[in-house]
Amino acid sequence: MDEVGEVGRDEELDGSAEHVGSPAGVGPAADVGRWFATATSRPLDGPGPARGGPRLPAWGPMDGAPYGLRSHDDEIAEALALLRDRPVAVLTGAGMSTGSGLPDYRGRDAVPRTPMTYQEFMGHDLARRRYWARSTVGWEQFRRARPGRAHRLLAALDPSAFPVTSVITQNVDGLHAAAGSAPVIDLHGRLDRVRCQQCGALSSRIALHQRMLSMNPELAARLPELAADAAQAPDGDAEVDRTSSFRYPPCALCGGIVKPDVVFFGESARREVVAEAFAALADARALLVLGSSLTVQSGLRFVRAARRQDKPVVILNDGPTRADAEATLRVHGRLEDVLARWAAAVGAIP
């Protein structure tokens, strides 16, 4: 498998998309991970084996993992010194958006869930009904999510501490761009867009949301009630999960299946996007990883590419990562705390 080729089941929505809390004055955002969770362990087509690809195991906090560690002040300062004044490519995961109220798959507070695969979404009408019903209920909450302190601090560090060749994010929430980081490479796409799987046409998720509300007036009338029910039933037993009568539209241009413009488990990232991310890494002299467990190949390959290029790798995460042994420096702690210390050290507090 070459670096810009197919990654198959190693791809992930990390967003995407390692989250807790919400910005001041805003209620908790929708649990986007649940939109992409398999609603039932039973076959979607009745008796017999499920079609459309194998189910993935449930994701959740790592058993026995050491969460809550904090690196010594000297280690935090050493990491900044290593990155200081050199072009840095930044790779981010779901931990960046916990402060914006977007729950994750692998953090210590994550609710275990079995991810929906691309094959399941494309192969089962009922899976698509469940996905679109969930996301319709949660969309207005998700749209209210705003950049958290970690997003703002990272934007302020460029170029005060180091110039950023690009923020390569596995998240799908658009919050890096909203915080002022640029350029941003959305490795796994964006939830505010939808793409036809037949003709490739892109369109707005906001417009699709309004159309689905008009097609499902009973759900639209109960939106607040269903949103509250979904928030209280994170194990996939919310009433909306049983809305098998939910209607969703085909592509207006060709009649094909419309899918959120994000990478599902079992799906490949777009080749041109991956190539752009590797180009950003090539232009850098170091790689900084923020808030990703690097569980899947989608993010891990950038760490390994940086090491092959003899570029230092700094990993900052609360909890273990798959690349801990490959990091030049491994920093433990909450992103907001460590980034704030770096920003204070260079006079870049936003």
Q: Which residues are catalytic?
A: 188
Could you tell me if 304 and 33 are in contact, meaning their C-beta atoms sit under 8 angstroms apart? no
Could you tell me if 247 and 208 are in contact, meaning their C-beta atoms sit under 8 angstroms apart? no
CA-to-CA dists, residue 153 to 142, 241, 337, angstroms: 22, 37, 10
What dihedral angle (degrees, nearest 10) is formed by the CA atoms of 333, 336, 337, 343? 130
Long-range contacts of 202-206 (CB under 8 A, 24+ apart): 202/261, 203/252, 203/258, 205/139, 205/260, 206/143
| Residue 109, phi then psi, degrees to nearest 5 | -105, 10
The structure tokens listed for 92 are: 């981010």
- Tokens 């919050």 belong to residue: 175
Give me Rg for the CA atoms of the chain: 20
CA-to-CA dists, residue 129 to 36, 121, 133, 247, angstroms: 12, 9, 6, 7
Q: Map residue 128 onto helix, strand or coil.
A: helix
CB atoms within 10 A of CB 20: 17
Distance CA 326, CA 330 (A): 9
Could you tell me if 12 and 265 are in contact, meaning their C-beta atoms sit under 8 angstroms apart? yes
Distance CA 146, CA 179 (A): 8
The structure tokens listed for 55 are: 């189910």
Partners of 258 in the β-ladder: 196
- Tokens 């209620």 belong to residue: 27
Could you tell me if 285 and 88 are in contact, meaning their C-beta atoms sit under 8 angstroms apart? yes
